[in-house]
Amino acid sequence: MQGLNPKQREAVTYLSGPSLVLAGAGSGKTRVITAKIAHLIEHAQMPAKHIYAVTFTNKAAREMKERVAKLLQGDAAKGLNISTFHTLGLNMLRRELKAAGLRRGFSIMDEQDVEQLLKELSKKNDTDKKVLQQARWQISNWKNDLILPEQAIAEATDHVQTFQALLYAAYQEALRAYNAVDFDDLILKPVELLKADAELRERWQNRVRHLLVDEYQDTNGAQYELVKLLVGVTAALTVVGDDDQSIYAWRGAKPENLIRLNEDYPQLNVIKLEQNYRSTGRILNSANKLIANNNHVFEKQLWSELGPGEVIRVISCADEMAEAERVASELVQHKFNTGRDFGDYAILYRGNHQARLFEQTLRTNKVPYFVSGGTSFFSRTEVKDAMSYLRLLNNTDDDAAFLRIINTPRREIGHTTIEKLSTYAAQAKCSLFDAIDHLGLAESVTGKSHARLRQFREWMIELQQESENEPAATVVKQLLSDIDYKDWLSQTSPNDKAADKRWENVEALIAWITKLQEEDGKNLTLPELTAHLALMDMLERQDDDAANEQVALMTLHAAKGLEFPVVFLVGFEEGLLPHQSSIDEDNIEEERRLAYVGVTRAQRELIVTNAKKRKRGGDWAPCEPSRFIAELPSDDLRHEGLGAQLSKEEKQERGNARLANLRAMLGG
């Protein structure tokens, strides 16, 4: 309990029933969760294996594990369950395979796999991409609200919903045939199991003696139900959340879940963490004043012992280019004056499209930066296709890789054939690839379908044999040539430009393989190559933690949970923040929460910028300052207008800063 304030200590030690910890931004919620886990083990004598903690990101789960390990001695934390919601759901499905109607080695379809499957199931190759994307979102929303296909079909009110509901039904059937689930199923299916099977539910409730949930305001309907079913009547539950930081309604989050807790658990104990350890007084005062304009179920007021700090600067710029140039100039000068690292700075914006101009000006000023949330090279469809072929060549037991590429390009092997193959493989307890060679398969899969499967298998075996004697790069090139993959990209891309870009990514992969061989000094074998590429993939997917010497460029959504000494909040204009769609829909409160998240990312200094005009559709359009600026306390702000002229000394100072930064980048 050392170092905890009174409210934090109360949250840690309370064990008499369910508790809601309202943790304001920067109030030490992770510290409370980890301290409570340690308290449950050391003082409540609860075995670690019966404690479950869930959050939303692998990064947060990893941080929790590391902190708990530091608090406990020896093997006290052995068996502790700290994971994301979806990892918990996956572990439940793995334990309850039979009940879930799944077989060992089931696949998890990623977003790209799902989109491709929906496209095939729509039976309309010319179906508008936007239509399929909307269907994908609708199916996800149905799953998050625990609505199954039968209910979706029954409740459809127009032809669009009917199309989406029927596609949903076909999609679930295809997943069953493929022995696969999607991301949303990792929550939906465990909920279904717990609801349907009293014995299974009791078993899991006995396993989960205390459940801790982080970022509770971000839970959707299915996640709320999962929590409720796991804790049962004992309600051994600690949830940590902040309704002021609920910014994910667009992906199904329901901040009203905090209200539901009060209804479902009348004995709920509410503890408020209001002391902020992150930001100065002026920043917190601005955050409090801003969010006070929203309706609240739970009132709270953040405060800090860090002193008032610097005034918040509000800079109006002539246009979007001037805004980007001003931010870059301010950043370089600030670093020159203070000696801070580039990693101390963040530029936060409402939409990804705003990043381009800031990237341009930062490059011009030789400022290192990274853009959070960019698409991983290995996440691109064409790269995943090639990697799946390599994975299957390396390991024919990889059913997920098999399912991805069996009809890429199309081999006229239908879903019925795959379902029969999958059923047979499960009965024979072998991989899909090996099942093709079984004599017994010919009883259920006959004619041309069987011949096409055998042809595919024989071709893959030939490539395997070649890979034993040929360099891996040669095998990859041969593989792509055999399937005429470049032509396939032309057929499946929206236009020639997109097809060329996708083929460039394939060529980049081949170039990487060649480079690996050159660096290795020998011809890599296929297993060696696959291992190397898998490692690259994992490194590329890591969190942005390593980018500590670069300015962070990211959306306000991506910035949640992070903090930076100096924050630039850019594009504070009507139509951007709040976004025009929210204005049209009269949904300003979530936009205000988004602005609140942005303000509370700043530890020591906050600079807010806007532009008087922006390019829209090739033409200049006037912009009005965001209403949120007027909601900030005027005493804590310093406005810097358009016409402000720099003094001779300021101009000299900025010039020196630019030169110093250039010398540093050049190593001089």
DSSP codes of every residue in 574-626:
TBBTTBHHHHHTT-HHHHHHHHHHHHTTEEEEEEEEEESEEEETTEEEE-PBP
Q: What is the mean pLDDT of residues 206-226?
A: 91
| Confidence band for 539, pLDDT divided at 50, 70 and 90 | very low
pLDDT tens by residue, 390-433? 888 877 877 878 888 898 888 888 888 988 998 898 888 888 99
Query: What local confidence, expressed as pLDDT, does residue 545 receive?
Result: 44
| Better-predicted residue by pLDDT, 116 or 416 | 416
Residue type, 527: P
Query: What local confidence, expressed as pLDDT, does residue 162 receive?
Result: 93
Closest CA relative to residue 286, chosen from 608, 638, 632, 569: 632
**CB distance 45 to 55 below 8 Å:** no
215 assigned to active site: yes
Cα distance between residue 272 and residue 29, in whole Å: 11
| Confidence band for 515, pLDDT divided at 50, 70 and 90 | confident
Lowest model confidence (mean pLDDT) among 53-62, 198-207, 376-385, 580-589: 376-385
- Compute the Cα dihedral for 444, 449, 454, 456 and give only its sign: negative
245 assigned to active site: yes
214 assigned to active site: yes
| Confidence band for 540, pLDDT divided at 50, 70 and 90 | very low
321: part of which helix (H) or strand (E)?
Answer: helix 320-338
Q: What is the mean pLDDT of residues 632-642?
A: 88
| Confidence band for 528, pLDDT divided at 50, 70 and 90 | low
Backbone dihedral angles phi then psi of residue 494, each to the nearest 5 degrees = -65, -25
Query: What local confidence, expressed as pLDDT, does residue 601 receive?
Result: 94
In this predicted structure, the answer to whether residue 534 has a pLDDT above a threshold of 70 is: no
Q: Is 345 helix (H, G, I), strand (E, B) or coil?
A: strand
Arithmetic mean of pLDDT over the chain: 85
Tokens of residue 68, six digits: 């708990």
Catalytic annotation, pick one of 9, 10, 13, 30: 30
| Confidence band for 525, pLDDT divided at 50, 70 and 90 | low
Q: Is 221 exposed, middle or buried (0-12, 13-18, 19+ CB in 10 A)?
A: buried
Lowest model confidence (mean pLDDT) among 24-33, 248-257, 453-462, 602-611: 248-257
Highest mean pLDDT among 287-301, 306-320, 372-386, 577-591: 306-320
Catalytic annotation, pick one of 182, 214, 398, 636: 214
pTM score: 0.72
The residues, ordered by sequence, that sit 6+ positions from 543 with a Cβ below 8 Å of its Cβ are 58, 59
Catalytic annotation, pick one of 380, 452, 593, 601: 601
In this predicted structure, the answer to whether residue 654 has a pLDDT above a threshold of 80 is: no
Task: Report the percentage of the chain scoring pLDDT > 90.
Answer: 44
Closest CA relative to residue 390, chosen from 380, 381, 402: 402
Tokens of residue 304, six digits: 């800090």
pLDDT tens by residue, 259-318? 888 889 989 999 999 999 999 999 999 999 999 999 877 888 999 999 999 999 999 999
- Half-sphere exposure for 116 (CA within 13 Å, toward CB): 20
Backbone dihedral angles phi then psi of residue 630, each to the nearest 5 degrees = -65, -20
In this predicted structure, the answer to whether residue 434 has a pLDDT above a threshold of 80 is: yes
Catalytic annotation, pick one of 7, 8, 29, 382: 29
Query: What local confidence, expressed as pLDDT, does residue 145 receive?
Result: 92
Tokens of residue 583, six digits: 């204005």
145 assigned to active site: no
In this predicted structure, the answer to whether residue 118 has a pLDDT above a threshold of 60 is: yes
185: part of which helix (H) or strand (E)?
Answer: helix 185-196
Catalytic annotation, pick one of 96, 113, 185, 215: 215
Q: Across the strands, what pairs with 348?
A: 554, 569
Q: Across the strands, what pairs with 349?
A: 555
The string of DSSP codes covering 59-113 is HHHHHHHHHHHHHS-TTTTTT-EEEEHHHHHHHHHHHTTTTTT--TT-EEE-HHH
Highest mean pLDDT among 378-387, 470-479, 555-564: 555-564
pLDDT tens by residue, 454-465? 999 999 999 888
Query: What local confidence, expressed as pLDDT, does residue 114 receive?
Result: 84
Query: What local confidence, expressed as pLDDT, does residue 330 receive?
Result: 93
**CB distance 564 to 283 below 8 Å:** no
Residue type, 327: V
In this predicted structure, the answer to whether residue 644 has a pLDDT above a threshold of 50 is: no
**CB distance 100 to 189 below 8 Å:** yes
Cα 271 to the center of its chain, rounded Å: 29
Query: What local confidence, expressed as pLDDT, does residue 647 receive?
Result: 52
Cα distance between residue 284 and residue 302, in whole Å: 6
Catalytic annotation, pick one of 245, 408, 492, 603: 245
In this predicted structure, the answer to whether residue 535 has a pLDDT above a threshold of 60 is: no
Q: Any idea what DSSP says for residue 395?
A: -
Closest CA relative to residue 598, chosen from 567, 632, 574: 567
- What is the residue whose two structure tokens read 């509770």? 216
